[in-house]
Amino acid sequence: MKNVIAVENLFKSYGSVQAVSGITFSVPKGQTVGLLGGNGAGKTTTIAMLLGLLLPTSGRIEILGQDMSDQRWKVLPRMNFSSPYVDLPHRLTIYENLSVYARLYGIRNIRKRVEDLAETLELTDLLKRPVGKLSSGQTTRVALAKSLLNDPDLLLLDEPTASLDPETADRIRTHLADWRNRTGATILLASHNMGEVERMCDHVLMMKKGKIVDRGSPGELIEKHGRKNMEEVFLTIARQNDATEPRP
Amino acid sequence: MIRHLITAFSPNRIWAMVLRYWYLIRSSLPRMIELVYWPFMQMLIWGFMSQFLRGHDSFMAKASSTLLAAVMLWDLLYRSQIGMSVSFLEEVWSRNLAQIFISPLRPFEWLISLMITSLIRTLISAIPIFLLAALFFGFRVWDLGWPVLAFWVNLTLMAWSISLLNIGIILRAGQGAESLTWALTFMIVPISAIYYPVSTLPYWLHPLAWSLPSTHVFEGLRALMFDGVFRTDLAISALLLNVLYMVLGFVFFFWCFAAARRNGQLFRQGE
């Protein structure tokens, strides 16, 4: 299996609204791929379909060699997801939350796994604190700990550092990069933070109005558009009228 | 298909979710107290009412005990339904549904965990109330014997069917439909023969009343308390109706679950 994600001609429509319009892409094993685009570009819809939370109108999704339309249950134990827009129960402590999810993922020696992750993400002193009483930075680290519980082969991240201060965001990125280098896992990252994308991603998919309008490594895209950084590339593409994906 | 369901079934994942709901129950003392408070108030009001009626004649004495037993059994049904539906709503309120359904947890495992939680919550409510009813009003529910267990099982199954309907509607229609959780069961109160026999109802309502397992249970309770007879025919008909409604409840839930995956509700719940 070369590609961890293989998406073919994927469509999603809500009535007359086309949220995702025939996108095709693949993500090779061990890479970090950025899914970029403005609000309403179709990033979150695409991620929801990859997770199986949302059924595509048409098209095919294969993850870790399995067809998500009928083999989703075989893949779910090997993937995970983190987003500031999806919460964990507020009244449960960090330890309770993580131990519940560890059981759901069939982790053995739950206490050790939770304590190890807590140590790595600097949560050890907070383990007995309810999630609802944490700062946004701490909550993000807990969400990340939850998403790493099963050491996933594929990690999907939706704006993992949104609403974090630069120092906390930097620590999260560093931790994710270390984790990926150590495990060889694959990451699909949706983000509005272009600095983050430049730093973390091997490859970028630019989305606009439900379509992939450009793709390449951050360096390639910066060079191709003649800009200084990904921020400028993003703005260039976002401001183009009727952008369509360039032919390969 | 059935073999696939059995082999895919994981007691560990069900246990994980039961633990999750147990952590939630024990995390809040006010919520623990609330589990007992409303049933206790119901029991007090109807207990004093039945004491007042008991003073009149022997018929009223029997009627008053029946009334108290009916109120307590009705509360079991209501608490079981609320216990299951509110545990589901906790996931919606905490925006946790998406997290659950990207984990390996299967929807039917989740439903079983909700049912077990409903049972735990109902027991937390019922045991103190049964003991207090014996202490305050000399009404010992266990004196009714094994038939009480048959009544309980039937009412619990009915409560779960209503919850499946309730959860399905919220999954399909969104959080705006959550008030149904507290209203749905009350829709059947007037025709469930809880406080009065079916014969009191207008004739045209009889078929509707008899289509509810609760009517069979409460008519059975009346037969037991007035005539000292356990009507097995009523217990069996209630059970058969419950099997039918549970099957329909599961079908409806999975239909709504699939619709929620099509329209994005599973991802957006709680937003």
CB-nearest partner of B24 from A91, A99, A105: A91
Residue of B nearest to A12 (CA): B262
Mean pLDDT of B124-129: 90
Domain ranges of chain B: 9-268
Residues of B in contact with A14 (CB under 8 A): 263-264
Residue of A nearest to B87 (CA): A89
> Minimum mean pLDDT among A87-91, A103-107, B247-251: which range?
A87-91
Residue A243's pLDDT is 47
Whether the predicted pLDDT of A248 surpasses 80:
no
How much is the ipTM here?
0.88
CA-based nearest distance B123→chain A, Å: 22
Interface contact B31, partner A, CB < 8 A: no
More confident residue, B55 or B244: B244
Interface contact B199, partner A, CB < 8 A: no
CA-based nearest distance A132→chain B, Å: 10
> Is B104 within 8 Å of A130 when comparing Cβ atoms?
no
Residue-wise pLDDT tens digits, A176-217: 998 999 999 999 999 888 888 998 999 999 999 999 999 999
Mutate to test the interface with A, among B24, B103, B112 (most CBs of A within 10 A): B103
Residues of B in contact with A128 (CB under 8 A): none
Confidence band, pLDDT 50/70/90 cuts, at residue B232: very high
Residues of A in contact with B91 (CB under 8 A): 89
Mean pLDDT of B34-47: 86
Residue A168's pLDDT is 82
SS3 label, residue A27: strand
> Is B94 within 8 Å of A90 when comparing Cβ atoms?
yes
Interface contact B11, partner A, CB < 8 A: no
Residue A247's pLDDT is 44
Q: What is the pTM of this model?
A: 0.90
